[in-house]
Structure 1
Amino acid sequence: SNLRNVVMQTGRVNPEPYRRMHPEWRIIDYSTEFYKLIAGAEVVITHFGSTVLEALVYGKPTVVVPNPEWTRAATIEDSKYFVKKVNAVLVSTLKLENILMGIEEAKKKDLPVLPDGAKNLADLIMRLY
């Protein structure tokens, strides 16, 4: 594939086997500064969850790939609704060519502009006093 500068976070899964498969990728298990990786990304590929919103905050095109093995996670229908709201791309069949097409599609989308939630909340609190 033509993927460059790939960072993959594995979570609780040992990253070593993946590092051996792709030594050119930066593969980590966890980072307390994951937001910096998102901020520096060209595109974010993730499962359904808060990373989608973090990517949106940084203005990053996003591809959502649900994990069919996670039976207690969001359903495909939930994912469809969510990606529509944040103008992300849903790749429901896990194949490399689908992910690559999803990346290209995500790069072409206009990202929604989010209001400044922190300022809005501060203004609301100040109005109470």
Structure 2
Amino acid sequence: GHKRLFDVISESDLKNVVLQTGKVDPEPYRRRHPEWKVIRYSTRFYELVAGAEVVVTHFGATILEASVYRKPTVVVPNPEWTRTAGIEDAKYYVKKVNAVLVSEITLENLLNAIEEAKRREYPELEDGATKLADLILRLC
């Protein structure tokens, strides 16, 4: 989980929030926002993403899930995670799915990014399955 992101977002008065904390203790967020759905993990996380108005995530697999459901997305890389893709990779992917990148984590930046993500249109993405099949057929 991205504790800094969770701490900042919990300062907000956002409604209908689902917060998946992973290894970060969920209790402080449950106490502060009993109206939020705060969980460590979900085996049905894809359903939560599918039902979201906006997805706020670190640079990870959730971006891919959000893109499958064509959800407006805000990406907040976790600077403490040194074994993940770098900021340049995040910038490329964010551009590809028309997401909003937040590099400085403040409540104002996050709230502005959420509103900006809602205004953006989701891009038409090329059908990767067809492209992959064509590449495989060329090898045969």
Relative to the length of structure 2, the TM-score reads: 0.80
Higher relative contact order, chain-length normalized (CA < 8 Å, sep 6+): 2
Identity in percent: 69
- Mapped to 1, the partners of 2:82 and 2:13 lie a distance apart of 32
Aligned partner letter, 2:20: Q
RMSD (Å) for aligned C-alpha atoms: 2.4
Identify the residue that residue 90 of structure 1 maps to in structure 2.
101
- Mapped to 2, the partners of 1:93 and 1:77 lie a distance apart of 15
Match of 2:54 among 10, 33, 43: 43
Residue 113 of structure 2 is aligned to residue 102 of structure 1: yes
- Mapped to 2, the partners of 1:101 and 1:75 lie a distance apart of 23
Residue 43 of structure 2 is aligned to residue 32 of structure 1: yes
- Mapped to 2, the partners of 1:56 and 1:112 lie a distance apart of 10
Identify the residue that residue 16 of structure 1 maps to in structure 2.
27
- Mapped to 2, the partners of 1:38 and 1:89 lie a distance apart of 17
Give 1:109 shift.
Answer: 1.0
Structure 1 residue runs without a partner (length 5+): none
- Mapped to 2, the partners of 1:68 and 1:28 lie a distance apart of 23
Aligned partner letter, 1:56: S
Aligned partner letter, 1:51: T
Structure 2 residue runs without a partner (length 5+): 1-11
- Mapped to 2, the partners of 1:19 and 1:3 lie a distance apart of 14
Residue 91 of structure 2 is aligned to residue 80 of structure 1: yes
- Mapped to 2, the partners of 1:100 and 1:122 lie a distance apart of 38
Change in Cα spacing, 1:20 to 1:75, as seen in structure 2 (3 Å) is: same
Identify the residue that residue 4 of structure 2 maps to in structure 1.
none
Give 1:122 shift.
Answer: 9.9
> 1:17-67 CA distances to partner (integer Å, 9 max, x unpaired)?
221121111100000100100011000000111111111111110000011
Aligned partner letter, 1:23: P
The number of residue pairs the alignment matches comes to 128
Relative to the length of structure 1, the TM-score reads: 0.86
